[in-house]
């Protein structure tokens, strides 16, 4: 595509790391606000209530005493994600309305004027096959996915600590990563709390143990233990407790994926005769957790661990792509893990 026709003023920020996505958009808004009459040239549209004619009208209006304007649209693409699919749970009229909205949006994107920065902000990962994402890519727009995966949590914590101006020990990073997992907003909240508490001194592992609640981590560990012991009552009780506390099924599954990945690694390294210190170093597990992980790993065969790990990954992918309902599927998943164990 010729460079003069690229719509590089259309942006899509998406992914489970909502904090980073929001900060990227806030940066664009802040730069607009620095310009004369900036507040008159910025508008935010809620994807749940949006009117495409209203969005088009704003985007096509010449900026007031400025050379550009900025429109931010939140959580519209994920709302439209099932517009083209025939889902039994959706009403026909609802699908029709979404399809009309999707068609109107796709028809408008190629005509967004170059003086308007049109920004889509999504609080979840948009699948690559999504028609709006594909249209933005084909037009030469900017697409950025912010994802916080388990292996990158420690690095994220160190980077965030540096950004907010606090120091944190390696042990504290490890403890915080294990207690919270890949949840950027919660990690940031806990890190700010720790930094405020510690003041000028470095955050220590003891500070994390004292201030960061890790009941959810313990419950997941208990759940995995119950699966290994074929205790369906305990496993389902822990699951329902996590859901009642407000944990999203994908958050629970992310912790289970981490747990089963560690169990596979610890089982392999233990049977290779490595010391607990070396097992901790190679697997990335906290040293104090290795004995308990070894005990759990002995409850599973390699085949059981690998099968359970694959089931968890399949569930995660199916929910994120809209092929499976998170709430309805989580108990069936745990029951499936119990049968696999």
pLDDT in tens, 82-124: 554 444 444 555 566 788 899 999 999 999 999 999 999 998 8
Q: Whole domain around residue 239: which residue ranges?
A: 215-340
Q: pLDDT tens across 124-168, in order? A: 888 888 999 999 999 999 999 887 776 778 889 999 999 899 999
Asked whether the CA dihedral 291, 293, 295, 301 is positive or negative, the reply is negative
Domain boundary among 128, 145, 162: 145
- pLDDT of the residue at 48: 87
User: How many domains is the chain built from?
Assistant: 3
Between CA 146 and CA 302 the distance in angstroms is: 33
Q: What is the CATH number of the domain that holds 84?
A: 3.40.50.300
Examine the domain organization and report whether 13 and 136 are in the same domain: yes
Average pLDDT across the chain, whole number = 84
- pLDDT of the residue at 2: 46
- pLDDT of the residue at 3: 45
- pLDDT of the residue at 280: 84
- pLDDT of the residue at 110: 94
Examine the domain organization and report whether 65 and 124 are in the same domain: yes
Tell me the two tokens of residue 330: 């989580």
Sheet with 142-145, side-by-side order of all strands: 42-46, 69-74, 116-121, 10-14, 142-145
- pLDDT of the residue at 85: 46
- pLDDT of the residue at 235: 85
Residue 6: pLDDT over 70: no
- pLDDT of the residue at 150: 66
Q: What is the CATH number of the domain that holds 238?
A: 1.20.272.10
Domain boundary among 211, 235, 260: 211
Query: What per-residue string of b and e applies to 237-266 under the rule 16 or more CB within 10 Å gives b?
Result: ebbeebeeeebebbbbbbbbbbbbbbbbbb
Between CA 14 and CA 125 the distance in angstroms is: 5
The reported pTM is: 0.54
Q: pLDDT tens across 21-76, in order? A: 888 999 999 999 988 788 899 999 999 888 899 999 999 999 988 889 999 999 99
Examine the domain organization and report whether 7 and 137 are in the same domain: yes
**HSE toward the beta carbon, residue 219, CA cutoff 13 A:** 19
Examine the domain organization and report whether 27 and 135 are in the same domain: yes
Mean pLDDT, range 321-330, rounded to an integer: 80
Examine the domain organization and report whether 242 and 171 are in the same domain: no
Examine the domain organization and report whether 232 and 130 are in the same domain: no
Domain boundary among 122, 145, 168: 145
Mean pLDDT, range 317-328, rounded to an integer: 82
Paired residues of 118 in beta bridges: 10, 71
Examine the domain organization and report whether 137 and 179 are in the same domain: no
Q: How many CB atoms lie within 10 A of CB 338?
A: 18
Q: pLDDT tens across 171-204, in order? A: 899 888 877 777 787 888 899 999 999 999 999 9
- pLDDT of the residue at 202: 96
Give the model's confidence band at 324: pLDDT under 50 very low, under 70 low, under 90 confident, else very high.
confident
Examine the domain organization and report whether 221 and 326 are in the same domain: yes
Examine the domain organization and report whether 226 and 172 are in the same domain: no
């Amino acid at each position: 595509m010729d460079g003069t026709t690229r719509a590089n003023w259309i942006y899509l920020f998406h992914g489970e790391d909502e904090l980073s996505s929001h900060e990227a958009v806030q940066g664009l808004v802040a730069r607009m606000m620095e310009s004369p009459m900036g507040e008159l040239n910025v508008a935010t549209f809620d994807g749940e209530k949006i009117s495409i004619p209203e969005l088009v009208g704003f985007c096509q209006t010449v900026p007031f005493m400025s050379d550009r304007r900025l429109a931010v649209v939140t959580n519209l693409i994920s709302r439209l994600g099932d517009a083209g699919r025939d889902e039994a749970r959706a009403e026909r009229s609802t699908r029709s309305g979404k399809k009309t909205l999707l068609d109107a949006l796709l028809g408008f994107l190629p005509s967004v004027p170059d003086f308007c920065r049109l920004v889509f902000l999504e609080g979840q990962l948009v699948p690559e096959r999504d028609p709006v994402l594909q249209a933005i890519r084909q037009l030469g727009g900017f697409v950025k996915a912010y994802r916080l995966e388990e292996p990158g949590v420690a690095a994220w914590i160190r980077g965030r600590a540096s950004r907010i101006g606090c120091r944190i020990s390696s042990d504290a990073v490890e403890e915080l990563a294990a207690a919270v997992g890949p949840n950027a907003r919660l990690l940031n909240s806990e890190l700010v709390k720790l930094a405020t508490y510690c003041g000028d001194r470095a955050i220590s592992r003891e500070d994390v143990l004292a201030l960061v609640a890790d009941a959810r981590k313990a419950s997941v560990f208990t759940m995995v233990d119950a699966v290994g012991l074929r205790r369906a009552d305990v496993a389902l009780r822990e699951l329902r407790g996590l859901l009642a506390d407000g944990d999203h099924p994908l958050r629970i599954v992310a912790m289970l994926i981490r747990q089963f990945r560690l169990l596979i690694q610890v089982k392999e390294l233990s049977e290779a005769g490595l010391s607990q210190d070396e097992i901790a170093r190679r697997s990335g597990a906290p040293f104090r957790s290795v004995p308990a992980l070894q005990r759990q790993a002995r409850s599973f065969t390699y085949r059981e661990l690998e099968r359970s790990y694959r089931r968890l990954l399949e569930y995660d992918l199916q929910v994120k792509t809209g092929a499976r309902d998170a709430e309805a599927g989580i108990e069936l998943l745990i029951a499936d893990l119990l049968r696999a164990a």
